Structure 1
Amino acid sequence: MSDLPLRSQLAVALGRTAAKMSRMAGKGDGSVIGGKVGLKLDPELLTRLSRDRKLVLVSATNGKTTTTRLITSAMTPLGEVATNAFGANMPTGHVSALASAPAAKYGVLECDEKYVPMVLRETGANVVALMNLSRDQMDRAAEIWLLAGKWRKALAEAPNTHVVANCDDPLVTWGAATAKSVTWVAAGQHWREDSWCCPECGGPLDRQEGEENSDWACRQCHFRRPRPDWVLHNGAVYDPHGRAFPLDAIQLPGRANRSNAVVALAVVAQFGVPPEQALPLLATVKSVAGRYTTVEAQGRTLRLLLAKNPAGWLEAFDVLKPAPSPLVLAINAQGPDGRDTSWLWDVDFRLLRGRPVWVGGERRIDLAARLEAAEVPFTLVDDVEQAILAVQPGHLDVIANYTAFQNIRTRYGRVV
């Protein structure tokens, strides 16, 4: 930190003060306001803080926060790792994360999809991990083909950056294809509704389905799935040497987290951490920024699941207790959620038939209309507490989008 110019040191100090005041006021962990103050005083602060560090950027529509946490955990044998653990994934959050760990030689930064080109340009990150792209908050976010195109341009201009990319997602493959050095990971693609067409020519994609991943190729041009270096198959990961490592010890539930784990293993291998050393460290991660946390309320055990878009809801359904286990759904449409709730009609809610469902949140009527169309019986509630009291003591899954999730988490316990 002493190597920074005086102006930068002042920016870091004032940013920390702002973050501390935010925490004392109960406004969050202060990452955003701290970084905002720092960048206001020194617009080049992110570049300065990145200097002489080995950095990983992690980006995707879903799974960024979890994979960032997994990679950070697996890199602990290398020393201190700077990271934005709670999802402040824009440059303000990156500044706060790096400033809070001035001695860390390594950094693992979750990065919002549309900020990848800017952050890569300013940090010169050594490794970029790209996992999936699907539609999300379309009232304010770009079309995902445009995002993938921006990734292509940015990576073509970053010759010293190595990319770890999920080759089962055609859009991610296209976005990563211009990188000078790529490790391809067959991590699976469970939501495919946004990638039926070839991003290279617009032609149809043909797929050969597998249990967790699938081969694919364009019917009209040369674009096809690359040969993977790492493969997720039957609950195990196969490294580039063909060695198999079971993922049984991973404590985060569901197939999406197996995908996150194989990407994490491929990333840390770039820093010399082998799977046999990394896997026990991945297994120590039980909850990420409240996701999958269980809390007690009124004699019930609530498991909190975050789902922000159709792909995320599909993965949340994958980890539910079997029917007739009860379920609470909560939907808001505030700024961080996206104001448009039409994406609800892309979610296959028929999967919830056969279990009692309670519906809450500020946009519960929108969700109720969707469930009615899917012929899923439900009970409408004005407050989540009503649903909790309506079920018998025991396990209760709660799925909510971003602000609804944060409200429930704050109310019933912010266990991490």
Structure 2
Amino acid sequence: MNAMTDSRTDSGTDSTSGPPAAQSGAAPRGGAKARRKAVVAGVAGNILEWYDFGVYGFLAAIIARSFFPSASGVGSLLIAFATLGVGFVARPVGSIVLGHLADRRGRKTVLTLTIFLMAGSTVAIGILPTYATAGVLAPVLLVLARLVQGFAAGGEWGSATAFITEWAGEGRRGFVGAFQQSSIAIGLLLGSGVTAILASSLGAADLEGWGWRIPFLLGAVLGPVGAYMRRNIAEPPVYRSASPSGRLSRADFFRRILHAIVFVAIWGVASYMVTVYMPTFGQTYGGLTRSETLWSVTIALALTAVLAPAFGHVSDRIGRKPVLLAGCAGFLVLSYPLYGAVLSHPGSVPVFLAVQCSLVALYSLLAGAGPAYLTEAFPTYIRTTGISVAGACAGLFGGFAPLTVTWIIQGTGAATAAGTFLALVALVSLPAVLTIRDAAHARLD
């Protein structure tokens, strides 16, 4: 990877040419107003990204019948979730290509590009013909749209994480960086809220016939707004003043990447298991209606938007490791009994809501301290590439989690496998959490 071996030749201050070598004077600084503007612009793309991904997951059953007709309802649902996961296959490619571009040419360049790609592909899904109209061409076009989204998401997640956290300043990276995760919750919240309103106000025939397109078409509004905001921002001071010295060896870089990938496994899987997949789980195995599960996930996501910055703030005070360890261990111990509680109380909205809020609280521990940890794990010159690759792997794990769980439940006949699966992923990530390099109180290099 030439990002680790090329020497910098840039010496000016043009942020589009990569971070210049540190000058003898003070590093560039950004005021409170610039910081707020940068954070708002950084989260705009994430809202669009996760609005889209959330809507697809919330409407998976309808999309399955519209694009993947099958004699088996479970079979078409498996294919629909596989298409959800296909978008994440392209994320590693996008993470490497766009992550490297963000490190070399600037975070702003990539953040502006990804929001256009994401908005275009989101709207495309909303206007695609169904299988009944276009035959096999319909699912092919849907898969292509998901691949474009996945490529854009691969660069979006890491660039936004690095951009927001680098702007945070010392002693605030956990708190400010967690707003990147809050933006994900807001995007999912927006998606679940719009879908819940449609499910409550439209009849089943109208929702499946044309109503499902409305949430995707709304992406046409979010895209231009986010792009406008991102065109009027500056690069983070730490990026503009980055020094070309102190490069990692290839072995050290890949060691850090591997460590981050193992850590984000539980983060990525939990993200999808406790939000995107929960409406399907509640409807299929918990005896709840579509409207009930969508309103439940809407409430839970609102809780995430509040808890993630709170836990990020805690990690600024006590360190990243205790907060991340609490989240990982919580999933290890509580996942099975929590999913089991939904099955033991079929049709109970209060129980389902309590379970989802409990799972979301555990997830918020990871989402609160995670962005700052990943930012601190890599030096500035390679930071976006490192974060993007780790984030793409998290998306890959999470994107295929609904498919994996649906397949396991179908094979075993035990819906409790959902909790078992989540607990096993937490067990895999636990060693990485126990051995993280906690740099909460250190300066970014």
TM-score by length of 2: 0.23
TM-score by length of 1: 0.24
Greater share of helix residues, 1 or 2? Answer: 2
Greater share of strand residues, 1 or 2? Answer: 1
Highest RCO, 1 vs 2 (Cα 8 Å, sep ≥ 6): 2
